[in-house]
Amino acid sequence: MRIKEEVNLFTEFKIKGISLKNRVVLPPMVRFSLIDKDGLVTDGLVKWYEEIALGGVGMIILEACCVAENAKLRDNQIGIWNDSFIEGLSKIADVCKKHKTPTLIQLHHAGFKEGIAAVSEEKLDGILEEFIAAFHRAKKCGFDGIEIHGAHTYLISQLHSKLWNKRTDKYGDRLYFTRELIKRTKDIFDDNFILGIRIGGNEPTLEEGIYIAKEVEKAGVDLIHVSSGVPDPSFKQDRKIEVPADFPLDWVVYLGVEIKKHVKIPVIAVRAIKKEVEASYLIENDLVDLVAVGRAMISRPHWMSWAKKKYKFRKNTGGKLL
């Protein structure tokens, strides 16, 4: 009988031709205080990503970089809307490469506070072109891939959601924008360039999250990162899903675990994963492929070595998972 090899947090993982040394990912987090008001990368930001790479994570997802100047979240968010950003962003790609840490860049458009119903078809055509141009720039910078920001009520999340997207033109097909973006940038993806997407696992329901995940898989995405969407256009409702009483982690993590059951490509789960045992629970039980550790990594950039000590202690003392 073949014995199944034990998989743990420190087991390597491969996405296409790219090897990750373990199962932990830094999720995208805008470091507002380390960004210049023109959206340029600062030395402080390069240093921050170097620190994370030295900390030994399996993969970094660089914070939301804006594809259009008029689509920023805040003044000090990194831009990628013209070639002047390539130099700074390349410094981050280079430093992560130097420390053998694959890095994806998240591409983002903040969307429209009033919703997307009033946005003209021509305007959306233009934004699609801006995304395509940003994809090409991201490749030039030397990253290992791209993560499309399709969660958290921003443009692509609004398009994916049937609560938000009541359009009657071609963008009324909720996945049209995403599919078209993927189709029109296919030529830049190869075995060494990953295409990921962050989606809302409750967009507005888990069933819709599963539908979106299957559609993006069909369209050719290599990796899905499950976060939250917005179930209610009034922004008042945070969640609308039932989580079994015995699920020991955050409800957004649960969305990732459920979506994983419906796709063949790798899935990243995220939110409120702080301890080694929480991350290990997800990997050792094969509930998802990768775990993202965000705020806990800000307070402890070398979270990996701390987690390794905790892991060893738990194994040596017969400590249980959750």
- Tell me the catalytic residues: 154
Q: Does 293 bind ligand FMN (CB under 6 A)?
A: yes
* Of residues 106 and 202, the one with the C-beta less far from ligand FMN: 106
What part of residues 124-183 is at the interface with ligand FMN (CB under 6 A)?
A: 149, 151-152
Residue whose beta carbon is closest to ligand FMN: 294
* Of residues 28 and 209, the one with the C-beta less far from ligand FMN: 28
Given 23, 27, 141, 258, the residue binding ligand FMN (CB under 6 A):
27
**Helices assigned H by DSSP within the chain:** 43-55, 86-98, 121-141, 155-160, 176-183, 206-219, 251-260, 276-284, 295-299, 303-316
Given 102, 227, 260, 266, the residue binding ligand FMN (CB under 6 A):
227
* Pairing between β-strand 267-269 and β-strand 290-292 as defined by DSSP bridges: parallel
* Of residues 137 and 149, the one with the C-beta less far from ligand FMN: 149
Given 198, 208, 216, 283, the residue binding ligand FMN (CB under 6 A):
198
Q: Does 109 bind ligand FMN (CB under 6 A)?
A: no
Shortest CB 77 distance to ligand FMN, Å: 8
Given 28, 102, 229, 266, the residue binding ligand FMN (CB under 6 A):
28
Q: Does 80 bind ligand FMN (CB under 6 A)?
A: no
Taking the alpha carbons at both ends of the chain, their separation in whole angstroms is 29
Can you name the residues that pair with 24 across neighbouring β-strands? 291
How many Å apart are CA 37 and CA 102, to the nearest integer? 27
The piece of 45-53, 174-182, 239-247, 289-297 that touches ligand FMN (CB under 6 A) is 289-297
Q: Does 55 bind ligand FMN (CB under 6 A)?
A: no
Residue keyed to tokens 């998972």: 321
DSSP-derived secondary structure for 50-96: HHHHHHT-SEEEEEEEESSGGG-SSSSS-B-SSGGGHHHHHHHHHHH
Q: Does 267 bind ligand FMN (CB under 6 A)?
A: no
What is the Cβ-side half-sphere exposure of residue 28, based on CA atoms within 13 angstroms? 28
Residue keyed to tokens 């932990």: 24
Query: Could you tell me which of 28, 26, 89, 92 has the C-alpha nearest to residue 59?
Result: 26
Q: Does 30 bind ligand FMN (CB under 6 A)?
A: yes
Q: Does 272 bind ligand FMN (CB under 6 A)?
A: yes
Query: Could you tell me which of 299, 321, 295 has the C-alpha nearest to residue 28?
Result: 295
Query: Could you tell me which of 163, 233, 150, 251 has the C-alpha nearest to residue 199?
Result: 150
Given 50, 63, 208, 289, the residue binding ligand FMN (CB under 6 A):
63
* Of residues 122 and 155, the one with the C-beta less far from ligand FMN: 155
* Of residues 167 and 302, the one with the C-beta less far from ligand FMN: 302
Q: Does 306 bind ligand FMN (CB under 6 A)?
A: no
* Of residues 30 and 159, the one with the C-beta less far from ligand FMN: 30
Judge contact between 212 and 199, C-beta under 8 A: yes
Applying CB under 6 A, the residues found at the interface with ligand FMN are 27-30, 63-64, 106, 149, 151-152, 198, 227, 270-273, 293-296
